Structure 1
Amino acid sequence: MPKLKSKSGAKKRFKITATGKVKCAQAGKRHGMIKRTTKFIRDARGMMVLADEDAKTVKKNFLPYGR
C-alpha cells in the first residue's frame, strides 16, 4: 500500500505530543483584540490541547502518521 500524505494545512496548525495528544493554537486571537477582555487575551496565550474526539479526527484524517 502506498504512503499516505498528511494534509499540509494540518501540519502547520497541529502538533502531536509524545503522549499522543494534539496541541493547537487558541482560536479567536487573530484580530479584534480591542473588544476582547484582558482576561481572555491572557488565558488564550500559548497552545491548548484538543478534546479527545477532535484529536481522534485530526489524527485519523489529517495526520495519518502522527500516532
Structure 2
Amino acid sequence: MPKQKTHSGAKKRFKVTGSGKLRRQQSSMRHNFERKPSTLTRRLSMDKDVSPADTKTIKRMLGL
C-alpha cells in the first residue's frame, strides 16, 4: 500500500500545537496596510484556532 501524502497547501497554512490543536492565520494581512488601523493589524496578526467543523478535514490533509 502506498504512503499517504501530506497536502502541501495545508502544511503551509496550518500549524499543530503541542496539545494537538490546529492554528491558522487570519485573513486581510497581505496588503493595504496604509488604510487599516494599527489596532486592526495587530489583532489580525494573531493566530486563531481552526473551527471544530474543519478540524477533521484538515487533520486528514496533514496526515494526522
TM-score category of the 2 structures, normalised to the smaller one: 0.7 to 0.9
> What is the aligned-residue identity percentage?
38
How far is 1:37 from its partner? 2.4
Q: Which residue of the partner structure matches residue 39 of structure 2?
A: 39
**SS of equivalent to 1:18:** coil
Q: Which residue of the partner structure matches residue 50 of structure 1?
A: 50
* TM-score of the two chains, using structure 1 as the length reference: 0.76
In structure 1, list runs of 5 or more residues that go unmatched: none
Deviations along 1:14-45, whole A, 9 cap, x unmatched?
Answer: 11112221111221100011222222111112
* TM-score of the two chains, using structure 2 as the length reference: 0.78
Give the number of equivalent residue pairs.
64
**In the aligned structure 1, how far is the partner of 2:17 from the partner of 2:50?**
11
RMSD of aligned C-alpha atoms? 1.6
How far is 1:2 from its partner? 2.3
Q: Which residue of the partner structure matches residue 22 of structure 2?
A: 22
In structure 2, list runs of 5 or more residues that go unmatched: none
